[in-house]
Amino acid sequence: MSDNDALVRGFVDAFERKDASLLVPFLHPDVVFRNYGDDEIRGREALTRMWDGVFQQFEVVRFETLHQAVDGDVVLAEQIHHLGLPGGPVAPVMNLAVYEITDGRIAAWRDYTNPIVARDLLTGR
């Protein structure tokens, strides 16, 4: 297993604990996060604040990696984001994540999810 493979797998595993401070060691200080359909987030502090808000809102946050491929400093991961609002169903949201690694940390992260399908799954439609 490459260092970049292990880095991303450790990062993904940290989400289940719902503690944004656990994400910090994986993120480059100048990380750029793009969840298509949402505004870009720049910087580790802004990104961890955003995830802190998500963790407070959702009862369940668990990312499952189905397949992961590494090409140097780029990691592609097919994932299921298991997300559940309090009292709601746990939605299996399909996602493709692209991570770019710089100096052993995630410097760019792009998530490709269909936001309409995600919303429908979260609301039980």
How high is the pLDDT of residue 88? 87
How high is the pLDDT of residue 121? 85
| Region label for 75, one of left (φ > 0), alpha (ψ between -120 and 50) or beta (otherwise) | beta
3-state secondary structure of 87: coil
How high is the pLDDT of residue 117? 85
How high is the pLDDT of residue 1? 47
Q: Rounded to an integer, what is the distance from CA 42 to the centroid of its chain?
A: 15
How high is the pLDDT of residue 119? 83
Whole domain around residue 28: which residue ranges?
3-122
pLDDT block averages, 10 residues each, the chain of length 125: 89 96 98 93 98 96 97 97 92 96 97 86 79
Domains held by the chain: number: 1
CATH number, domain containing residue 33:
3.10.450.50
End-to-end CA distance of the chain: 39
